[in-house]
Amino acid sequence: MIFMLIFDEYKYAIKLLNHGFEKFMSNIDLTILAKYFRYIGKSEEQILTDLNNFCTKFNPDFNHVISDSNIKNAIKRSKKRSLIIPKPIPITQKEIDTIKALKDFRSEKVLFVLLVVSKHFKINLGWHDYIANIKRTEICTRAKIHDPKIEKDAIFTKIDRDYGLVDAQVFSRTRGVDLFIKFVDEEGEPIFFVDDLDNIIDFYPHYCSLCGKQIDKKSNVHEFCHECWKDRNREQTKERVRKHFA
């Protein structure tokens, strides 16, 4: 499985407690559980016991002697940063207008995800800049973009090189690419908040490309309201009939 960013560690810890490891003895899972137990007031001794009990519950073959160092290291890591319970991410009209100016639905969705992720790192993790440190594959997954790689590459070229809305800086092979978001509006009043970071793209407002009316539910293949879509289909049907009998 592809391990994606975990925005809400509290919610993730509850999921682990109910369903077990995403990957058995994952260091990330153990650390988040240790942070959760610390958050709810458990002592270090209790955290050690609870982690051992958790591992035993979801894997009967678990050996606490063999895995003792893994668990103790997770407890040690959990002291470095408290459990992440994200604050909602504010979005302004100016930011939406900048994104809509791309006039390409797929590129807009990618840029919206990048904006929200960069604000999460700044607001909830205390980063100094608005940086989306996230893999391209995950960006596209969260934006619900399923195009071929060449078309995905074109999207990133458009928002980086053509429009200058992000600044991509390549680091080491392990760290990958940091995307600096260059159009964050820190002065404007929020028009809405993204309060479910696992479903970012559901918050992106959609407008009909023809009449400009906001659309509640969005198709993955077109950007029209129901009335304009019917009118467009009707005109396309007329054109097909005309060509057929021409």
pLDDT in tens, 100-154: 999 888 999 999 999 999 999 999 999 999 999 888 899 999 999 988 889 988 9
In 53-156, where do the E strands start and end?
89-92, 131-132
- Are the C-beta atoms of 29 and 22 separated by less than 8 Å? yes
pTM, two decimal places: 0.83
Residue 225: give the domain boundaries: 206-246
pLDDT of res. 43: 96
| Cβ neighbours for 111, distance < 8 A, ≥ 6 positions apart | 99, 102, 159, 165, 166
Question: Which residue do the tokens 């600096």 mark?
Answer: 180
CA distance 246 to 241: 8
Greatest Cα pair distance, the chain, in angstroms, is 83
pLDDT band at 228 (very low <50, low <70, confident <90, very high): confident
pLDDT by residue (tens digit) across 51-84? 999 999 998 889 989 999 999 999 999 999 999 9
- Assess whether 105 and 179 both reside in one domain: yes
Domain tally, the chain: 3
More confident residue, 208 or 170: 208
Evaluate whether residue 1 is within a structural domain. no
Do 149 and 71 fall into the same domain?
Answer: no
Query: Is the CB of residue 151 less than 8 Å from the CB of residue 140?
Result: no
Compute the half-sphere exposure of residue 186: CA atoms within 13 Å on the CB side of its CA.
8
pLDDT band at 244 (very low <50, low <70, confident <90, very high): low
Residues 71 and 22 in one domain: yes
Tokens of 142: 């969260």
Residues 135 and 241 in one domain: no
158: how many CB neighbours lie within 10 A of its CB?
Answer: 17
Are 196 and 231 contained in the same domain?
Answer: no
Q: How far apart, in whole angstroms, are the C-alpha atoms of residue 120 and residue 132? A: 9
- pLDDT tens for 160-178 read 888 999 988 755 444 456 8
